[in-house]
Amino acid sequence: MVYIKRIELRGFKTFSRKVTLKLGRGLTVITGPNGSGKSNILDALRF
């Protein structure tokens, strides 16, 4: 089975500085207020 261990973003939409998101196996839930960049994480994966 293939899974994503981490996502590193820098200079992509709302992520101007380097951000590293470490993901575990199984279900990952991303929560936060409006405009915090939740959708941008998914956009980065599709890019």
pLDDT tens per residue across span 1-47? 888 999 999 999 999 999 999 998 889 999 999 999 999 999 999 98
| pLDDT computed for residue 2 by the predictor | 86
Give the predicted TM-score (pTM) of the model. 0.75
| pLDDT computed for residue 1 by the predictor | 82
- Contacting residues for 36 by C-beta, under 8 A, at least 6 apart: 14
| Of 20, 33, 24, 18, nearest in space to 4 by CA | 24
